[in-house]
Copies of this chain bind each other. A is one copy, B any other.
């Protein structure tokens, strides 16, 4: 088994390179001095090139060939399957296409920034079309007999195992259900507001307190500030979170902390014993997102959590007057709005479904860049029920396409769907869940997620991991029932039986 030893040694080397790169990127968004930007770009580019060279080394393919013909235990077989898939994708693109993509992303991002600032799509049209053409070409190279649709080939970068054939009907059903829910809420009075100026140092202490209570290991991580909160699993024992605080809106910062904390708990729970196989990785972006959304939304926006929170807040701000019901109301406001990243838990998914439908049409050859502004507006009218007044709040709002990220959006709603069914199973297994949440006793929740999700790493694809937990539950029904039950209560409406 020299091939296995060589392969895992190479993977450990790639992991160390990836860790160094992750630290460079973490630093870039937290502590890097402004004048370091150019040099940092060169450092990241070099490490990524070294990573690519060492992964696409023909020796790696040779070891995989040997292992595919050998007797393997279950772990080895799973690792070889995952590694072959990643290797095939890493080597199958011609250098010319990789370089064209890098250039088109660079041009596309610049053109998008300018177009958004000018609130005018026209300057972005040609660079976007170039990106779409290259993405189509890329999908052709990625395509295997397992892919029924070219879009499936791109999905595999983010949610391997998910397909248009499954997502489309699921998302269609979800859009219909959400439409009925929003129609019931439309015009009902919004919950009472809550306003307080809370000092940033106290907010930081609150965030750290909540993370510790959730079970996030501060000896193997940190919480820092960043303009755009993110989490990053740098290495074993090094999973870092970032958040941001606003004096006037502590729920926004705390929500970011809990969201990133959910990502961080997943990373901290990945199976360290599988180091060197890549089976110790997250199974998909969607599953990652299910963990952050589970904590942020299902736990963090619940009334019991608000009851847990209020005394912890008053320990920091003794004069603060706030009732759990106030926080609960503010956290569960529902409203049809234009901007995805500001959307509530229910409508958020409609924003994703708009983007998914457009991307599938692009990859079916039915939409070109020039058609997108109108198609976007039409889809928003039909699916979200609002019409963007101009491109800035419409087709130009997201950075993703300008950076060549196509196939990425579905992961967000997959995360919400996975989280909804996982939550219902957790409630079944832990009937006193809400009492525990109110007491801040989150350990059994984390333990449940650890054994059923985190500890499986990427030994199988995310749809299998989720299915093994939820059986034949219907995630669409679970998510919709949750929204009617929680947000419906806030708005005084009930799910029609």
Contact of A16 among B16, B42, B238 (CB under 8 A): B42
Cα–Cα distance between A277 and B452 once the two chains are bound (Å): 54
Cα–Cα distance between A47 and B50 once the two chains are bound (Å): 11
Q: Which residue in chain B gives the minimum CB-CB distance to A239?
A: B33
- Cβ of A46 to closest chain B Cβ, rounded Å: 4
Inter-subunit contact A237/B37 (CB<8 Å): yes
Cα–Cα distance between A165 and B43 once the two chains are bound (Å): 42
Inter-subunit contact B234/A36 (CB<8 Å): yes
A169 CB–B CB distance under 8 Å: no
Cα–Cα distance between A33 and B216 once the two chains are bound (Å): 13
A13 CB–B CB distance under 8 Å: yes
How many chain A residues sit at the interface, stated as a range, is 35 or more
Inter-subunit contact A238/B33 (CB<8 Å): yes
- Cβ of A59 to closest chain B Cβ, rounded Å: 16
Interface of A is mostly: helix
Q: Which residue in chain B gives the minimum CB-CB distance to A46?
A: B16
A12 CB–B CB distance under 8 Å: yes
A387 CB–B CB distance under 8 Å: no
Q: Assuming the A-B contacts A33-B220, A220-B35, are A235 and B17 also in contact, with contact meaning beta carbons closer than 8 angstroms in the complex? A: no
What residues of chain B lie closer than 8 Å to A31, measured between beta carbons?
A: 31, 222, 224
Inter-subunit contact B13/A235 (CB<8 Å): no
Contact of A43 among B36, B37, B235 (CB under 8 A): B235
A38 CB–B CB distance under 8 Å: yes
Cα–Cα distance between A5 and B12 once the two chains are bound (Å): 33
Contact of A20 among B13, B24, B220, B222 (CB under 8 A): B24
A218 CB–B CB distance under 8 Å: yes
Contact of A33 among B16, B34, B219 (CB under 8 A): B219
What residues of chain B lie closer than 8 Å to A238, measured between beta carbons?
A: 32-33, 35-36, 39-40
Q: Assuming the A-B contacts A33-B220, A34-B219, A35-B217, are A20 and B19 also in contact, with contact meaning beta carbons closer than 8 angstroms in the complex? A: no
Contact of A39 among B13, B19, B222 (CB under 8 A): B19
Contact of A23 among B23, B218, B240 (CB under 8 A): B23
